Amino acid sequence: MIKLKTQTRIYALGMLLLWLSVVIIMIMSIATFFNSIKMSSIVKNLDENIQKQQQQIDQLEKMYKDLENKFFGAKGTFSLSSMLYLNQSQYGNNLSLYGQDRLRLMEEIYDSAIEFEVDPHLAFCIITVESAWDTDAKSEAGAIGLMGIMPSTARLMERTIKTGELYDPFRNVVLGVQWFGKLRILNANNNVAALNEYWCGNGIENNTAYSSKVLGLTKKMKEGKL
């Protein structure tokens, strides 16, 4: 009888331990499940943070490349060097733009020149000869602004433009470079013929005084000579 009671107690204790083991396993499984969910959330958040950091790195790299192109690329090199060249020349005080506005104008000269397949240095020197960098310049014939554009010529490219708008240095540069680019095409990319036609309107090839002056200044500018 005692032996039977002992066996019963052992059996009950075994069952109790078994059930405790099951309960512990279930608790551990539930804990593992929630930990996995928590870990998944952590991994997801970590992944999102990595993506955000990568986006920030990409933005910084783009900003750096933009700055590099602006200040050290072909455009930046021309813009900064031409502004310095103008500032050191006898015409530096004529231009009524300063600081960033002056630099933006040099960038506009470069952009327009590239768009219309004109040497930026040549465009710079056309301005020097036409107006000596006076934005309010007006010739006896009626040529206006930095690049000495006749209102009738400007309307060949922009029909609705008003005469007063040609005093805007940025619009004047775009239209002037565009017109010179057209003349280069009409004259088989011959700068001498295009310059003579830009000045006198009839393309007289033996009238080389104007083109010689512009091309001479262009050569000096590229050599860094004032």
Residue 25's pLDDT is: 76
Rounded Cα gap, residues 5 and 210, in angstroms: 127
Average pLDDT of every residue of the chain? 83
Above pLDDT 90, what percent of the chain? 59
Q: Rg of the chain over CA atoms, in angstroms? A: 38
**If DSSP codes are grouped into helix, strand and coil, which group holds residue 164?**
helix
pTM of the predicted structure, to 2 decimals: 0.70
Closest listed residue to residue 180, CA positions, set 171, 189, 169: 189
Specify the CATH class of 74-223 in words. mainly alpha
Residue 15's pLDDT is: 63
Closest listed residue to residue 149, CA positions, set 125, 127, 119, 181: 127
In the chain, which residues have pLDDT < 70? Answer: 1-23, 31, 33-47, 49, 53, 56-72, 201-207
**If DSSP codes are grouped into helix, strand and coil, which group holds residue 19?**
helix
**Segment 61-120, tens digit of pLDDT:** 565 455 555 555 889 899 999 999 999 999 999 999 999 999 999 999 999 999 999 999
Residue 72's pLDDT is: 59
